[in-house]
Chains A and B, each alone.
Chain A
Amino acid sequence: MKRRDFIQQASLGTALISLGGIGLSSCTSNVKAKKITILHTNDVHSHIDPFGPKDGRNANKGGVARRASLIESIRKENPNTLLLDAGDIFQGTPYFNYYGGELEFKIMSMLKYDAATIGNHDFDNGIDGLYAQLPHAKFNFLSANYDFSNTVINTHVKPYKVFNIDTIKIGVFGLGIELEGLVDPRLYKETKYLDPVEITQDITRALKNDEQCDLIICLSHLGYSYKSESNKISDLRLAEATKDIDLIIGGHTHTFLPKPTITKNIEGKNTLVNQVGCYGINLGKIDFYFDSNHNKKADGTSIIV
């Protein structure tokens, strides 16, 4: 055998073994459980500093530097983590009045947020004010039911994004609240509000069937629920009226839930709805555990909240 041939053959042999190795190890790891961690905030409203010790309601709570260290330690434990925000990033402290949202976006980028949806207060400096701050945001803005096609931010907001983490496909889409009567029309300009239920039906179909997502998450600024206006669309009503959503991360109503709500979707399957109050006082953490089909349990998914 010529030396050149030998090297070729030997390297092919190595290639075979290592391919086999890759094949086997990736198959085995499918049998092993995978964990996806979803971290979330909502209605932070420009609260960058912690509340002071004399605050009547939230003394010594919140603060973005503390949130940063918490998120860092969770990411260290599980790198397969997504960090999401359900809107109303803007308005509430002078940081917004002085700097127009620049700090909020820069800090969220430093914390490595993956995506956010748009809340009504994110229009407070007009759609032009939001557009002006977009260069500071290194994360995705997702909104499926605001039609921005006649506005400056048109190409900067996507209806959904699919994150592929450790072979798990996670579809995240955004929903916003009706702006008429809530926000000055001169601020949102030609932003069109589309029906959240109809849009969700389309988006979840696309995420489930076309994108083959393993997990579907809705980032919603619709509000948790409205007792006095029972017909008004809310996270709980959205969950009931749709299918295939695993988790709705809510905002707008500043709802402090003792624990995530487990509710039934239109097919009678479990959907999780969560919201963590406001002002960066809490961080939501939902862990999703996966294994391969071969390990499928007869009783489906257990939910521990």
Chain B
Amino acid sequence: MAELTASHLPAAHDDHGHMSEEEHNNNMKLGVWLYLASEIVIFSIMIVGYIIFRINNKDIVAQAHEELGVALVTANTFVLLASSFFMVMGLRAMQGGNRSGMLRWIGLTALGGIVFLGGQYIEYSELAHLGIVLGFDTASEWSTFGMRFYAPTFFHGAHVFVGVLWALEVMRRGARGRYDNNPIGIEMFGLYWHFVDVVWIMLFTLIYLV
């Protein structure tokens, strides 16, 4: 005959229905990483259309590279890399308890994103001037290049735009002291922003250089 004991467990939670801060942070981080995992797959599909085109149409791509040059896009890449650096410095500042430092760094991050979008706008205008448009047009020699180029870069640009909005929201909340005790919100935004940066590193090499 088995012996029965009724027992209580030591409470693993602070109180019923609420998670401890550490559990909460771990959940948030894992959730963001899983979200980024799904983003990897979407971007791979957006990029693969370009790569297939690139392999089959070397001449059109070489011509596009020549027309466009790399100066503007290299500058833009530096801006985005720098904004990623500002981002991580912002997190570092908040972890060190420096709220105003954090606000300064995140502000620079958002500014970097805005400058990047401006650069992309200039680039798109130049391309449109050359007759490279999104839709298919039998009259243009660029007819099949435009969509393969715009789809991944614009999709990335949209992510930068969302990131800028998120940065402003982080600043608004940070200014009210939301992250003074637990900077997880900044860390989550950081993960997203760095991921967008990583995507750009790959796009820059695949689309503009190779």
Chains A and B come from one and the same complex: no
